[in-house]
Chains A and B, each alone.
Chain A
Amino acid sequence: MIEEKCQDYDDNNLVTLSINDSQYFYCLMKRYEEKLSNYIKRFTYLADEDIADIVQESFISVYQHLNDCDCKLKFSSWMYRIVHNQAINFIKKNKQSIKIDLENDDEFVDWLVADTDIEKETIIKYFNEYVKTVIEKLKPIYKEVLVLKFFEDKDYQEISDILQKPMGTVATLLSRAKIQFKQIYEKEKKY
């Protein structure tokens, strides 16, 4: 079976092999299918059929551009970038907004409360009914960075490669996301 054969190869080897044999590309798709579907789901809230379409379109695009693979980057970053752009295009085309599906993640909550006067217990207690609403109101680019950092566990370099922004800008976006979160949180608290 091709899938067993593929286990011995890393992503970059599979890219090289896929150029001449699409069966190897199947292995690459298998590796990323679930991860990419979950990623789109987290920041788009789209229906499963739409997500499947986006992932399929992205795979075809990746396949056509295999000879242009920026293999100095991690292959996963390149794959995420293409699927990210496809998803953003889909959202724009269908005039939808970015809605992120976040969980009560420890690392995320710690980051959110660090250097602010917001209490961790409050965030955890009201995460589903309150914090999520505040996050919903953040600028789309802030939501995208948050998803990649805390829910896809990407480092700054990978986020920079996926969103095609300098690493310094990624750090700035994260910091601004927190500032905006705090502003909206304080405003909402008054009501």
Chain B
Amino acid sequence: MKKKKSISELTLKTITKKQIKPIPKWEFIARKWTLWSGIIASLVVLIIGLGLAIFGVIDNIISPYFWLIIVIIFWGLSYFLFEKTKRAYIFAKWKVVIVINIIGLIIGGVMFRCGLAKKIDLDLETKLPYYRQMVPMKIATWTNPKAGYLSGEIVKINENNFEIKDFEGKDWTITGRPLIRDRVSKITGEEIKLIGVQIDDNTFESSEIRPWTGRGQNMMKENY
């Protein structure tokens, strides 16, 4: 009687017959690097998002909702990708959650404290189209001339200065030699925001002029 083949013999036969080969090492290395690059990238976005969300909540200059959504998405992605790593299982899930939160809050908090979050927000406004529509300014914050922020609609252009009507309806004369951002046309009817110093009750010396939103639409006037 013919002896029944063992599982090992059958498997070896299958491997030989189907010419099955071990998957090359470089494929596993590439997968590992891709995974870790994804984890680092999503952590970086999470940290930036947290820094800007903290800036939005505490300084109350921008709406934090867009960045809070980014934080939630990239928090989930960081966790999901980390759980895909080979040795993730040795850590309890709650510990992973705490570590991601601590990393995000500490670095994001430092970013906010040293002003980097504000700088990133202003950079994104000038470099990223539609950014200001997604992260609108809070109008109350920008109608605070004593703090150096003023906004409104240009009503008249003069030779050495121009006039605006702020969103409370008050008229202002704008002086100075401000830096004018790319998307500002400085024409009558345009909505702008100004950074500078209040000189007197009706005069504001501007150091920088920015468009009210990325595309001249006021999205948060209702907040006022």
> A residues engaging B (CB < 8 A)?
18-19, 22-23, 25-26, 29-30, 33, 37, 52, 55-56, 59-60, 63-68, 70, 160, 164-169
Contacts and interface: CB of A to CB of B under 8 A. Distances in A.
A67 B25 contact: yes
Interface residues of B, number: 23
Given A22-B12, A68-B28, A160-B90, 7 more contacts: A52-B7, A56-B7, A59-B11, A63-B15, A63-B22, A67-B25, A67-B27
Contact of A56 (B14, B89, B91): B14
Contact of B23 (A25, A68, A166): A68
A19 B8 contact: no
A166 B8 contact: no
B20 interface: yes
Q: Is the interface of A mostly helix, strand, loop or mixed?
A: helix
Given A66-B22, A68-B23, A68-B28, A60 B90 contact: no
A170 to B, nearest CB: 11
A25 B16 CA distance: 12
A120 B6 CA distance: 41
Contacts, number: 68
Interface of chain B, helix or strand or loop or mixed? helix
Contact of B92 (A56, A60, A168): A168
B7 A33 contact: yes
9 contacts: A19-B22, A22-B16, A26-B12, A33-B6, A52-B7, A64-B20, A68-B23, A166-B90, A166-B92
B22 A59 contact: no
B10 interface: yes
B11 A60 contact: yes
A62 to B, nearest CB: 10
A87 to B, nearest CB: 14
Interface in B48-88: 86
Given A63-B22, A70-B86, A166-B89, A56 B10 contact: yes
A123 to B, nearest CB: 33
Contacts of B11: 29, 56, 59-60, 63
Interface in B6-40: 6-12, 14-16, 20-25, 27-28
Given A63-B20, A164-B89, A55 B12 contact: no
